[in-house]
Structure 1
Amino acid sequence: MTLLVLGIALWIGAHLLKRLAPDLRTSMGEKRGRGIIALVIFASLVMMVVGFRAAPHIDVWYPPSFFTHINNLLMLLAVFLFAISESKGALRAKIKHPQLYAVKTWAVAHLLVNGDLASIVLFGGMLFWAVMSVVLINRSGEFVPKEAGPAKRDIITVIATLVAFVVISAIHSWLGYSPFA
């Protein structure tokens, strides 16, 4: 569990460094700083995955089975929100912070269907990070919305969302976590 918590802390620290310690981030230099942050984020991901897989299974609560359906709908929404961030369609100008809202939706979806302590730590930690990021970005006033593109491009986003959802579901099944059971 220690490795999982350290991985989450490292993830949060690396992502919030620019907003909480801008002078430190600037002192690293643009190219060098991006490289260091990328390595730290990669290391935090490895720590979270290894820490999560190694954590003991300690049940905290027992989610009802129908939460699986809610989870799947929320996951479809999370994938769509993430896709919107790179979309060239009209919706991208209407949704502020789509990637962070995707992470929040993903985290809530997984908290609904996983009642063990490691899941609560992982998904709760990621939810905390996404909420903090939105608050800090909104307070800084640095958010600039993207310009809207043609609405017909949103159809491509919907198709990409469905394909990505199927791929993510297949990977979960391959890893032994059936998203539909």
Structure 2
Amino acid sequence: MTYLILGLALWVGAHMFKRVAPGPRARIGDPGKGLIAVLLVGSVILMIVGYRAAPYIPVWEPPSVLRHVNNLLMVVAFYVYGVGATKGLLSARLRHPQLTGFTIWAGAHLLVNGDLAAMILFGGLLVWALAEIALINRSQPWQRPEVVSIKGDLVALIVGLILMSIAAGVHIWLGVNPFGG
């Protein structure tokens, strides 16, 4: 689980650096964006390798009905995540659509994975996303998007369904069928 925890720590550190140390982050300027991107890719690789290598230590046994709840929440998560980029009607009501979508994604995964490694991974990412929302809310006033339309919501839904299909395909390719069976 060492790689999993290191990956999670690197993810949190790379994302939070801008919030907890704005001065040093500003001093490294645009080249710092490339460094942060490399750290984030490395963190994802560490989390994947660590999660796949972690021993299965059961904490609880999720009921099978939660798989359906999870799948519905995945549609919602991908949709909400995409609303921020498409400037739909929801983006004028929801300050952090991408972090909110990420929060829904992490929480839904906690519903269907009852092992310790999943609790560390998805629980850690859920706590990070909520902390990130709190830090942003505390440090910056919100400028609501002025130009929004239902078209943005429809595009977000279509793109979200496509991305969910791709994510489901990757899960199946990795040997984990998110739809059961």
Q: Which TM bucket (shorter chain)?
A: over 0.9
Task: Quote the Cα distance in structure 1 between the aligned partners of 2:13 and 2:152.
Answer: 36
**What is the Cα deviation at residue 125 of structure 1?**
0.7
CA contact (8 A) 2:83 2:152 kept: no
Contact 2:51 2:117 in 1 (8 A): yes
Structure 2: how far apart are the matches of 1:93 and 1:77? Answer: 17
Q: Which sections of structure 2, spanning at least 5 residues, go unmatched?
A: none
What is residue 130 of structure 1 aligned with on the other side?
129
Matches within 5 A, 1:26-175: 26-28=26-28, 30-175=29-174
TM-score of the superposed pair, with normalisation by structure 1 = 0.94
Q: Size of the alignment, in residue pairs?
A: 180
Cα displacement (A) at 1:47: 0.7
Distance across 2 between alignment mates of 1:78 and 1:8: 20
Cα distance, 1:153 vs. partner? 3.4
Distance 2:158 2:102 in 1: 20
| Bigger proportion of residues as helix | 2
Spell out structure 1 runs of 4+ moving beyond 4 A. Answer: none
2:8 matched to which residue of 1? 8
Structure-2 separation of matches of 1:137 and 1:153 = 24
Residues of 1 paired with 2:79 and 2:12: CA distance? 24
Deviations 1:24-57 (A, max 9, x none): 21222x1111111111111111111111111111
How many angstroms does 1:9 deviate by? 0.6
Write the distance in 2 (CA, Å) between the matches of 1:155 and 1:93: 15
CA RMSD of aligned residues (A): 1.3
1: CA distance between counterparts of 2:9 and 2:130? 15
Give identity over the alignment, percent: 47
Larger CA deviation: 120-129 vs 150-159: 150-159
User: Which one-letter code corresponds to 2:17 in the other structure?
Assistant: L
Conserved in 2, the CA contact under 8 Å of 1:137 and 1:143? Answer: no
Rounded to whole Å, the distance in 2 between the matches of 1:89 and 1:3 is 38
Q: Structure 1 CA distance, aligned partners of 2:147 and 2:164?
A: 24
